[in-house]
Structure 1
């Protein structure tokens, strides 16, 4: 294969290693070496030797100091078509022993989900005709195009779920053609395909309900275009895309996404809750995944836009939001925790690996969070039973009472908004507090530093 067989910007993988993926950045000679060469900027973790310069001469600018290398054209592959990948993956005669023993697909959170094959004969009978296949994974198989549309349509007409993780796709027109060919397709996972942000809106794709674009280099500007073409999405996964700003073309509120129930923005670079407030009027949003960002403060929107600006006077901010995952952020104060009580439908919260929820870093244990979060039924992935809630609230009230002697009622109300409510609800009477410290201290810091004494 000659270098001219490739093009700048093309996605390729190392011959014989479909998991080592990169982008062509240079085609031509390399000084001091004969023949044609292809300069490749390898994806993170794929390994390289330099930054696009060699022997003092720069050929291209790579993403990292050692993410680039030059390769002979014969050492690279431009990939295969999707139909060829499906045949290779699901033709039983081509299975290796390991593939016969175990197959897997990736979940939207990038966890392996094993698919056990019970008996080779049964599998062969089931898959001898690929048109019976409803779920398929061709991850890291070097898929670079969908091939002839009719071929794909006739090959897997009943396919409902397709995992294309770690392939060579980059053009949105290929994705539109794929969705048009597979009219039964509902779940499409494009994780780790570097998609072109030059997006030309096509006719509406109404069959896709779940779209996974984790680690695809997606910007929010592209998301605004996606929502027009993929008009029936119920889930959109955008993990690891370095999204820091949510840029709405209309004011500061994201509109559209009328059917979207789950939005996954985990592991991006969001450091301001103001960006998340822009999502507060997505009318169907029930789950918002924000783990592994850099958010420090959370508030409930106090000044929502005027009803006329959204055309619906009845909608409250985050009206249907039931699940809010904020694990592994930088939340370190109770104001953010207490503000979660204002979300009208919130019942499932994750705060693990935040300073406020880590006793080893000066945070508080689970029972304090339960007591301060009155409506939460699931905390950090574990159900809050009625018994656990009752015990947590009583323990919390007694803790505050033991620290309250040096503060007036207004200070207590400000620092512990639910204290009076919980004290009355559980019928806890005043008692003389037992001082465990030699002098007064700030209520919040005292609660944190002395919580282990109970």
Structure 2
């Protein structure tokens, strides 16, 4: 713990984290005061000025306030102290019986034996592989060598919302964890970017890093991740980023040859060209989240992103103009041949087929094909070979009830399925249903189809790999198409009587 406050130190006060920007007297007030810039501006009252005098400056206009330097101010502690306080429980010294209280209201008491042995096994810090110190008072590393000696097997470390304030401290801690692969530094304020000898070798094995809500700039992050050659996942959400420029003449391609996951959600990247020009130098990206950035228009067109990122499998683009068209989801799917999920929802084989056919139909209706010599719309030839060219005159489907029905194949089972094995009674029976009906209605229909017995109807759907997945009662209000039930799906059901 700190003996006395100093400017630049990180503190926690009444659950809020902040940085000391001033230590000393305040006019018309007794005692020593701390001028604090709070991480959450809602905790502040001003920008560092009081009664016409400026004591310090803040990044945000209302992030500053003064607090007394008293015992309520919590200062940082070494890494191993915070680790021990969270993960080590001292033996109670009682080898006989202990009373353990269970239940949310403490109404169950159990007599237990030998809990000190359990505590001893759980307090082996050298066995820890996943460690979360989120919200603790960690501020700086221990004497060099101590962390490696105490907990060398940590692979996943969360230092989010702690009091760590410099990359040098982060690098020192990481350099003593040779197996570290995932590092979370969300909501930190890493003001100091100085580097020492540990920096060059601290992050050699790191594959994922989270920097959400840190307010770091893109050039700062680029400078850091050049030291992470194995990096595959980067999260930079909620950082008020308005630019992805590296801010210099250095080639920005260097840091990103292995990057597969990039999360830029909830920033201020209002220009699509800013996003596109940065993504195009990351050809290995498979998962991209650019939701909620305030993008006003899309230029260059969205298919350019598909060409730049041919491995893209998961895309989140909610709240940007890609979704302004009434059939936008289908048109996006058609432009990304390898996409598996869009805005967090799985793309079924049927949805992809329908989306690609809709895309072909729209191009034919708009008369785009053949307008320019030696030029065809994106994926036109590929999709025409796959689905056949659309007719010259596209006729809308009949919008009656029968045209919207799908056929599923149902089979009654005496016992729940095990893996791919099913003990069925009788042959499968085709059943015509509306894909928009809720699962609850299907349960009732299956019960009537069976015609006998009482009990709850359990339902399973056959997956692509041949296994069976149960649809629980929590899904009863969801529609069948939402649950992935489509034409030619196979359904197993049984009556559970107890």
On whether the aligned pair clears a TM of 0.5, the verdict is: yes
Query: Structure 1 residues 87, 193: closer, same or farther in 2, change over 3 A?
Result: same
Are the counterparts in 1 of residues 264 and 289 from structure 2 also a CA contact under 8 Å?
yes
Query: Structure 1 residues 347, 56: closer, same or farther in 2, change over 3 A?
Result: closer
Matches within 5 A, 1:298-447: 329-331=295-297, 336-343=301-308, 344-358=310-324, 362-398=325-361, 403-404=365-366, 409-410=370-371, 417-418=378-379, 422=383, 425-427=386-388, 430=391, 432=393
Query: Partners in 1 of 2:276 and 2:394 — Cα distance?
Result: 42
Q: Give, in angstroms, the shift of residue 283 of structure 1.
A: 6.4
Query: Partners in 1 of 2:306 and 2:288 — Cα distance?
Result: 16
Are the counterparts in 1 of residues 152 and 179 from structure 2 also a CA contact under 8 Å?
yes
Q: Does 1:254 align with 2:253?
A: yes
Query: Partners in 1 of 2:55 and 2:211 — Cα distance?
Result: 31
Q: Give, in angstroms, the shift of residue 34 of structure 1.
A: 1.2
1:209 corresponds to which residue? 207
Name the SS for the 1:37 alignment partner: strand
Query: Structure 1 residues 147, 425: closer, same or farther in 2, change over 3 A?
Result: closer
Query: Structure 1 residues 38, 419: closer, same or farther in 2, change over 3 A?
Result: same
Are the counterparts in 1 of residues 283 and 311 from structure 2 also a CA contact under 8 Å?
no
Q: Does 1:134 align with 2:129?
A: yes
Query: Structure 1 residues 151, 397: closer, same or farther in 2, change over 3 A?
Result: closer
Give the number of the structure whose alpha-carbon radius of gyration is greater: 2
Matches within 5 A, 1:126-205: 126-200=121-195, 202=197, 203-205=200-202
Query: Structure 1 residues 260, 36: closer, same or farther in 2, change over 3 A?
Result: same
1:48 corresponds to which residue? 44
Q: 2:224 aligns with which of 223, 226, 230?
A: 226
Query: Partners in 1 of 2:390 and 2:145 — Cα distance?
Result: 76
Query: Partners in 1 of 2:163 and 2:131 — Cα distance?
Result: 17
Higher mean C-alpha displacement, 83-92 vs 268-277: 268-277
Are the counterparts in 1 of residues 49 and 56 from structure 2 also a CA contact under 8 Å?
yes
Query: Partners in 2 of 1:289 and 1:81 — Cα distance?
Result: 35
Q: Give, in angstroms, the shift of residue 217 of structure 1.
A: 3.0
Are the counterparts in 2 of residues 214 and 237 from structure 1 also a CA contact under 8 Å?
yes
Are the counterparts in 2 of residues 263 and 287 from structure 1 also a CA contact under 8 Å?
yes
Query: Partners in 2 of 1:426 and 1:255 — Cα distance?
Result: 41
Query: Structure 1 residues 71, 331: closer, same or farther in 2, change over 3 A?
Result: same
Q: Does 1:35 align with 2:34?
A: no
Q: Does 1:85 align with 2:82?
A: yes
Are the counterparts in 2 of residues 20 and 46 from structure 1 also a CA contact under 8 Å?
no
1:70 corresponds to which residue? 66
Query: Structure 1 residues 332, 279: closer, same or farther in 2, change over 3 A?
Result: closer
Q: Give, in angstroms, the shift of residue 342 of structure 1.
A: 2.4
Are the counterparts in 2 of residues 194 and 216 from structure 1 also a CA contact under 8 Å?
yes
Q: Give, in angstroms, the shift of residue 166 of structure 1.
A: 0.3
Name the SS for the 1:149 alignment partner: coil
Query: Partners in 1 of 2:65 and 2:381 — Cα distance?
Result: 66
Query: Partners in 2 of 1:191 and 1:66 — Cα distance?
Result: 22
Deviation sequence 1:271-293 (CA, Å, 0-9, x none): 44246534544565544443333
Are the counterparts in 1 of residues 260 and 284 from structure 2 also a CA contact under 8 Å?
yes
Query: Structure 1 residues 10, 162: closer, same or farther in 2, change over 3 A?
Result: same
Name the SS for the 2:246 alignment partner: coil
Query: Partners in 2 of 1:150 and 1:404 — Cα distance?
Result: 68
Query: Partners in 2 of 1:279 and 1:387 — Cα distance?
Result: 29
Query: Structure 1 residues 51, 120: closer, same or farther in 2, change over 3 A?
Result: farther
Query: Structure 1 residues 101, 227: closer, same or farther in 2, change over 3 A?
Result: farther
Query: Structure 1 residues 428, 182: closer, same or farther in 2, change over 3 A?
Result: closer
Query: Partners in 1 of 2:208 and 2:103 — Cα distance?
Result: 29
1:10 corresponds to which residue? 9
Provide the TM-score with structure 1 as the length reference. Answer: 0.69
Deviation sequence 1:361-387 (CA, Å, 0-9, x none): x54343333334444343333333332
Query: Partners in 1 of 2:361 and 2:244 — Cα distance?
Result: 43
2:239 corresponds to which residue? 241
Q: Give, in angstroms, the shift of residue 93 of structure 1.
A: 5.6
